[in-house]
Each structure stands twice: as C-alpha cells, then as structure tokens.
Chains A and B, each alone.
Chain A
C-alpha cells in the first residue's frame, strides 16, 4: 500500500472520520448513533491510517497505546455508574444536569449517561485498535 495519494488522503480522511465519530457519539441519545457506533467509526479512521501509513505512524498519532484507551474507557464507564451513589441512587442510575434551563427549553443537558457512553466509545475504539494493530504487527 505505497500509494502516495492514499497516504496523503488518509491523513485528512482519518481526521474527518474521527470528527464524524464524535458527532455520532454526541447525537446518539436522540438519533441513530452512540458509543458503539462512534467507537467503530473512529477506529475505522485509524485502521485506515494504519493500513496506509503503517502502524508505527498510527501509534504515534494516537499518543498512547490503544489498550490504555480501552481500559480507561472501562474505568470511565465504571465511574459514571458509581457517580449515582453520590446522589443516593443505585449503580448506573442516570444523573442529569440541565445547564441554563428555562421554563420552555431544557437547556444544555449534561449527564452521567453521556459519560457512560463516552466510556463505551473509548472501549470500542481502544479494543478494535488493540486488535488491529497487534495483528498488523505480529502477523
């Protein structure tokens, strides 16, 4: 895969896919999308990057190892669940804060549910990349 065009193109494509994946993640609660889909899209971008430019470059671009991302995602999901305990609810009960809510609009919703979905995103993203990088390198 030593095409110059592919290598040049994927840098932008991977970035776009990553951006798109975040969009899918954020909108997931109200429209098709969410952590699973976002994570898969994001990892697809990096897989493309790894195929075009090699895993070494992809790893550098990622800054940390994908295993760390996966485990951190699991930890974030766990913390999002535990946060409910602060409010006296049982594990994983969603907690909501509506920033700037008025009589008519709900304002900007911030919730532990979103944090949980971010955890899911990171788990899927990190796990897929762990697998793909390892297979690219070892096989």
Chain B
C-alpha cells in the first residue's frame, strides 16, 4: 500500500506534465461539443494492416465524446491529486507513467472505430490497470488483487476477441460505423447468439457484473487516486461503454434484453447489500460502484428513450460523485490515517472544505434535489417504469438499490464529518492541501451546477449520447428538476424514507448482514480454490508431457509426423500407383543400393569407425546422385562438406567411449516407428511424383538469369541475386552456429559432477 506521508511533497514537473496534458486534451474535446451536439460525428482513419481490413480509425460522437471528456477531465484532477498524495512515494514517476498510459489507452478505447483497434486498447487498459492495481506490489494482497483483475478481465477479453472476429466476419467489416448499420441482418444471423455471449463475457468481466464482481473490491488495493479514476469513469466503465457502443447493432432481441436486465438487476441489488456491510469506506464505495455498473447495464438492456436518457445521465452523475467521494476518502485517509467508518467522526471542524465537497457529492449520490443525482434518479425510475414486460421487478430492484445507496452515502459522507468520533484516529486530523481539494470540490460543484441548470448537460452531452445509442436525437428526454407530481417523484420519496430507515439501523443491519454473508459461498475464496486446482492440474499435466527424456520427445515428434502424413493420405484417399521402374539402369540401381547399404550399416554397427565410414558412403552416394542428375554446384558442395565432416568427426569421435558402452539391444518399438515414418515418406514422395511439376518460377529464373542478372550459372544467380535475402539469412545462421559452437567449447565449465578434462 502507498502510505501517504504527513508532510506531502509535490511530484514536481514530472507530476505536473500529465495534468497539463489531460487538461489540454479535455479542452480540445470541449471544442468539439458544438459539432457533436448538432448530432454530427467525426471520423479519422489511417491504414494499419490493410491486408486484414484492420485500420486505425477513430470516431467521435456523443457517446465517445462523453466518455472522452469524463476520462480527460477526471484524469486531470486525479493527476493533480496524486501529485500531492503520492508525490513523496519513491516510485512516483513509475506511477505517473502507468496512470498516463492507462488514461491514453482508455481514450483510445472509447474513440476507436475499428473492432481490432478497440480490442488492442482494451487489452492495454487491462495491462496498465494490472500495473496500477499492483502498484503496492510489495504486499501479497496487492499482487493477488492485481493478478486477479488481470486474469478475470483478460479471460473475458479473449472471449470478446473471438466474438469480435465473428462479428467482423458476419458483418464483412471491422469498422463499427459499418457494422452498426446492419442491425437487422446481425440479429437474424445464426451466429448472433455466440457473438453476443462471447462479447458479453468480455464486457461483464470488465464491468464486474455478478458473478464476476469479486475482482473489483479487491482492486481497492490500489492507491486511492487510482481507485477514483479506475472505478468512476474509466476501467470498469469500459464494459458499459462497449455495450452502449454495440447497442444500436445488437440490442432489441429478447436475449439482449433479458441478459442485460437480469445481470444488471442482480448485480445492483447484491452490490448495494454488500456495500452496507462494509466498514472500510473505500470498500463501501467500491460496492456502490458495482451497483452503479449493474444499473447502467440494466438500462442498456432497454431501448426506450427514457431508459437511454437515464443511462446517459446516470453515467455522468455517477462519474462525478463517485470520483469526488473516492478522492474525499483519500483526503480523510491522508489526514487521519484510517478509513474505518466506526472510528471516524467530527471531521467537519478540522476539514471544512472536504466536508462540504463530500456533502455535495453524497447528496448527489443519495439523490436529493437540486443535485444532478436527483434528476438521474427520477429518470431511472421513469426508465424503469417504461420497461414493457416486468416493470415491477425492475422498479423493485432499483428502489432497493437506491435506498441502500442512500444509506451508504450517509455512512461515507455524513458520519465521518458531522457525527461524534467512534475512537481515536492514528493521526491528528488536518485539512487536506489544496491540490487534493481541487478534485472533490470541482467534481461536487459540477454535480450541483448541472442539477440546477440541467439544460447545460442535456444539450451538450446527454442528448448526443442518446442520439448515438438510438440513432435520433428526438427520443432524448428532457432533464428537469421539477416534472410535477408523478410516479417517479413518489418513488423518490419512498426511496428517501426507506434509505433513512436503512441508515438509522445500519449498524445492527450490518452485523446481521455480516453473519448471513459470511455463511454464504464466497466468490473470492472460490477464486483461490479455482487457481489452486488449476495449478495442480498444470503440475500434473507438465509431469505427463515434460518427462525430461529426450527420446520421448523425439518419439512424440516422429509419431506426429507419421500420424499427420499418413492420416492426411488416408483421409484424402491419396492413391499411389505402382512405381515406374523402366528407366532404372544398373548404374543407378547400384547407386541406390550403395546409399541404402550405407544407411543400414550406420544403423547396425557397434563400431564408431564403421559408422563413420558408412555415413561417408551415404554422403558420397548422395553427391553422385547430384552429379548424375545435373547439379554440379550441389555435388561439389556436398563432397567438400563430407570432407570437413570427416575431419571434425575424426577429431571429436575418437575421444568418446565406444558406441555400446551401455550394452546394445534391439528396440522393436523404435524400429516399428522408423519403418512407419520411412514408408509414409516414400509413399508421399511417390504420390508427389504423380503430380504435374509447376516450373513457372524456374522458367522465370532461366529466362532472366542472363538478360537481367548477367549470370550464366542459374543456381549461383538464384543464390546471390534472385534470392539473395534468403542467402543472407542463411550465412547469418552459419556464423551464429560457428560462434555458438566456439563459445560452447571455449567457455563452458564443468558442472561439478562430470569427469571432464577441464577439471584439475
């Protein structure tokens, strides 16, 4: 864990650079709001792998602009905050690099218009968030949490990649802007269900939907600014973003509707119950993030204008207040040294600014008017009531989740500041320095500002986002504070009442919940058991496959050749006619017998000298074949190499023990395999000989050898001109082999148990 110090030092210029960069990016994105608000979109493309239809293309529309603004804006504040919070950390520069890479990857993700580009950025966020969560890598918990996040989201992403490829295959393009116009065709396609399942596997793991939710609370092992960034607007929202991005193309089927609605609702309810059970404020916030993700998923299941407006509004609301509250908790942690809800209290006197920011953010979270959260909540209820088939279920889930969130808001922002302390804090509390206050204050104020002037947000971001989801801006619903006495308002009042009750009884409730939850199966422990089982399986499998015996590896290789070649011949029904032996002269038969005889003697003999001689015979025989069949260059090379082989072997071989020092025996299984592979090779060659020869390349070389390359020896011209790059690679291999052998001879020392001559 990163320990905030008492005397914060600034991170210096290195820490301020990313602040400036994010601020500039934010401003740059802001300049695009008028264009996008006019229901336009911008596209930019550059070829990347044209052969595979993969391009670096980016799309800026309402949805991606909203995300880009949240990412860069909150990013700037978080960088400023961490500058003080972690400025004294010895690895601060590393942290800045990680966080900046993460932010840029996240921006790439939300702007990408090509599925493959999107996937690359998606995985970059996975990797950088792994580094960020594991920033406190000296603790077991930090390492475990980081690895868990990596595994869960990484596994989902692989499934998603498969889904992307299927989707690109079905749509005939990897460009999202093309794919999303083919909605009807996609939904009717037989591959729709596999595509949906695979892609949702990616988004659900990334956005921590139940039952993949367990990694997110563990990811709180990261430093608080990271949590504020990853779990308000970025990392976990990537899954939500992708579902929203694909909404125009894939939504509208029963499967989409029910999968998203059920997973979203279950996640929201379970997360809000678990949130109330936590005493660590950061953990409590983590679970409310889960709840928000569940609600956003739930809305993406629908298609109504209300649901989409609710989605767009809640997306912004949640990012604003959640980032603010995480940063507030960081301030408290920084000031007091603890995050335990039961200990903290009465901080409003010493930390007035933090307290006010916390109060504003919490009231937005609880959904009081005139905050943006209130509008968000009204829209959520309006959207839920619009769910055609099961409004009662959805509204019930939302009501429970909202009421519990109300109570959590009280626990996080009311108790620590305004009620008496429950115990002594490890440090004497003091107000946080201004760079750390900027974030919470600005974010909380924005929540208030947008609540009072909802029109500001509606015109610039909400309506364009709805337009990118539904295709038309008309369906976007107005954001208003007072919409008259209607059903959503009544539900809001019920929420506040239930929430107050939950808050008042939250301590006995928490104790009771703790007893129940501890008795239930725990996904986090299940994860450990899964990993243990996996490792046991891996060990078992390694023991079977990696025996460490060279002969078994070789056996497996040759058996694979046998099965692969032979199996293909059988499966393709390759027929081999009786070989044509009419052109065989007695000289050629003698030559063949020489080679065969040499090979057999080399195999059977127990004498090193005889084996060497037999190998020499084979080599000379092969050279003769080259001579007879018009390959003078090859024959000369073969003969020269044979000479050198004899020299080397003569040097080395005679200093080794005899061939059968360990006893000689016939190995019937190996012999059978050898016979099998040999037979299959011969049959393959015979079948090959029956096919017509394609001489086009050779003809080209023959015609151009003199006219273009000025050489009369075609073989040499191929080597040094036509295929010179191959030759260059080959001579490099020769040099490497020679140097490696030289190094092996010169430098290796005995391992200690040998009887090498290097030993004294």
A127 with B738: CB separation less than 8 A: yes
By beta carbon, the residue of chain B nearest A31 is B713
Please tell me which one of the listed residues A31, A40, A71 contacts residue B641 in the complex, with CB atoms under 8 A apart: A40
B648 with A135: CB separation less than 8 A: yes
With a cutoff of 8 Å between Cβ atoms, the chain B residues found around residue A131 in the complex are 648, 738, 741-742
Please tell me which one of the listed residues B655, B715, B720, B735 contacts residue A117 in the complex, with CB atoms under 8 A apart: B720
With a cutoff of 8 Å between Cβ atoms, the chain A residues found around residue B529 in the complex are none
With a cutoff of 8 Å between Cβ atoms, the chain A residues found around residue B685 in the complex are none
By beta carbon, the residue of chain A nearest B651 is A135
Q: Interface extent on A, as a size class? A: 35 or more
If A81-B728, A92-B728, A139-B655 touch, does A29 touch B742 (CB 8 Å cutoff)? no
Q: Interface extent on B, as a size class? A: 35 or more
With a cutoff of 8 Å between Cβ atoms, the chain B residues found around residue A130 in the complex are 738-739, 741-742
By beta carbon, the residue of chain B nearest A74 is B735
Q: Does A88 contact B (CB under 8 A)?
A: no
If A67-B738, A70-B735, A73-B731 touch, does A81 touch B724 (CB 8 Å cutoff)? yes
A127 with B644: CB separation less than 8 A: no
By beta carbon, the residue of chain B nearest A70 is B735
Contact with A along B730-749 (1 / 0, CB 8 A): 01101101110110011000
Tell me the B686-716 residues at the A interface (CB within 8 Å).
Answer: 709-713, 715-716
Contact with B along A113-139 (1 / 0, CB 8 A): 100110110011011101110111011
Tell me the A46-64 residues at the B interface (CB within 8 Å).
Answer: 47, 51
Give Cα distance in the complex from A136 to B652, angstroms.
8
A135 with B652: CB separation less than 8 A: yes
Shortest beta-carbon distance from B646 to chain A in Å: 10
With a cutoff of 8 Å between Cβ atoms, the chain A residues found around residue B275 in the complex are none
Q: Which of B451-459, B582-590, B632-640 contacts A (4 or more CB under 8 A)?
A: B632-640
With a cutoff of 8 Å between Cβ atoms, the chain A residues found around residue B745 in the complex are 134-135, 138-139
If A40-B641, A67-B738, A127-B737 touch, does A30 touch B647 (CB 8 Å cutoff)? no
If A74-B735, A127-B737, A131-B648 touch, does A37 touch B710 (CB 8 Å cutoff)? no
B727 with A120: CB separation less than 8 A: yes
Give Cα distance in the complex from A71 to B738, angstroms.
10
Q: Does A15 contact B (CB under 8 A)?
A: no
Give Cα distance in the complex from A40 to B632, angstroms.
15
Q: Which of B713, B724, B745 counts the most A-chain CB atoms under 10 A from its CB?
A: B724
A34 with B644: CB separation less than 8 A: no
Contact with A along B511-549 (1 / 0, CB 8 A): 000000000000000000000000000000000000000
Additional pairs, 5, CB under 8 Å, beyond known A32-B713, A44-B644: A30-B713, A31-B713, A33-B636, A44-B643, A94-B709
A residues apposed to B, CB below 8 Å: 28-37, 40-41, 43-44, 47, 51, 67, 70-71, 73-74, 77-78, 81, 91-92, 94, 96, 106, 109, 111, 113, 116-117, 119-120, 123-124, 126-128, 130-132, 134-136, 138-139
A-B pairs with lowest CB-CB distance, top 5: A127-B738, A40-B640, A30-B712, A32-B632, A123-B731
